[in-house]
Amino acid sequence: MADHLLDVENLQVSFATEDGLVRAVDEVSFTLDRGEVVAIVGESGSGKSVSAMTLMGLTRSPNSRFGGSARLNGRELITASEHDFESIRGKEIAMIFQDPISSLSPVHRIGDQIVEQIRAHEDISKPAAFDRAVELMERVGIPSAADRARAYPHEFSGGMRQRAMIAMALSLSPSVLIADEPTTALDVTIQAQILEEFKQLRASGESGVIFVTHDLGVVADIADRVLVMYAGRVVEQGTLDEIFYDPQHPYTWGLLGSITRMDREPPRRLPAIPGLPPSLINAPAGCHFRPRCPHEFAQCMEVPKLESHIAEAPEHADRCWLEVEEKRTRRLINGRIGLTEGTVIA
């Protein structure tokens, strides 16, 4: 097996709560290399953020339990000590969070917040670190960065704050950058600009990016490979083209079917996946998606393995018992990929 930048194998995360054990992440495996963007897609509560935060060591608590392994440049993260993690976080793996308004300290200057990170990992004077912070802010497209570095987060617009977050995350040239819904809180034009920053980062080949999102439009724009998560498990994973043009799992069909597209006639009915994601404390037996799936049959009571069913695409794996050809027929609704016809919008 080739050495990857990041190699996640059979990752499991659960939390002990008063109501029982929450299996937030179950058997998640993937690899990431430099210059690559892996997108993790799923609804709220699918375990995508927990997976990402676990790689940062941010889900550790007295109530959390971990299984499996995650190796960064061959170094195990899951069992790393908190002390080791302090030197990994921010330096080797950096993270950008969803809400740039609440994710920056309201009482510290933007530049100082970047300086703080640089100085946590490098023996460098404050003025030197500040100069570097300004350079980083310039690099991510913040105008008059020298002045803006002295401003506070509340004096920044949402897009500029997210740029500052990116500058901060990139400050020590981490080999892995995790972006947890970095564009969700931004409006569409800003979103496009921020995505441009990620594309440049990918082109530079310095880092591998894990992009957590629920927005398939963003995924299509930026990802090389995609993991579709549902109720803590990966239900399908493959290259961008495989997932978008030959989706194997009914949940993926549902996600793809619910995108409204500018280049097509607007739908009279908005297709949506019926039902709600299950509780992770008492997840349904067998396939987790079974209760919401119109294609359910007897075998679905057994948990399907995540494996490839297509000979030509050995990396394209899914968790569904249906035969490949049957999937290819069933996923077409009125000639397009989807799960249901959708419900009538009043």
CB of 96 to another protein, least distance (A): 9
Minimum Å distance from CB 5 to another protein? 18
Which residue lies nearer to another protein by CB, 59 or 248?
Answer: 59
66 binds another protein (CB under 8 A): no
- Contact call for residue 94 and another protein (CB under 8 A): yes
Number of residues that bind another protein (CB under 8 A): 29
CB nearer to another protein: pick between 85 and 244: 85
Task: Report, in Å, the least distance between residue 120 CB and another protein.
Answer: 5
Counted residue by residue, the chain has a size of 346
Pick the closer one to another protein by CB: 154 or 199.
Answer: 154
Give the Å distances, CA to CA, from 1 to 4, 6, 29, 342: 9, 13, 14, 44
**Alpha-carbon gap, residue 252 to 248, rounded angstroms:** 7
- Which residues, in sequence order, are CB contacts of 212 under 8 Å at separation 6+? 39, 40, 48, 49, 51, 52, 178, 179, 180, 181
Residues 158-177 that bind another protein (CB under 8 A): 165, 168
- Give the x/- contact pattern for another protein in 99-138, rule: CB under 8 A: x--xxxxxxx-------xx--xx-----------------
Residue type, 36: E
Q: In whole angstroms, how close is the CB of 49 to another protein at the nearest point?
A: 11
The whole-angstrom separation of Cα 192 and Cα 208 is: 20
Alpha-helix residue ranges (DSSP H) falling in the chain = 48-55, 82-88, 110-121, 126-139, 145-148, 158-170, 188-204, 216-222, 240-245, 250-257, 324-330
Q: Which is nearer to another protein, 117 or 207 (CB)?
A: 117
Q: Tell me: does residue 89 bind another protein (CB under 8 A).
A: yes
User: Nearest Cα to 12, choosing from 59, 51, 53, 60?
Assistant: 51
Tokens 């892995």 map to which residue? 176
Positions in the binding site for another protein (CB under 8 A): 56, 58, 82, 85-91, 94-95, 97, 99, 102-108, 116-117, 120-121, 152, 154, 165, 168
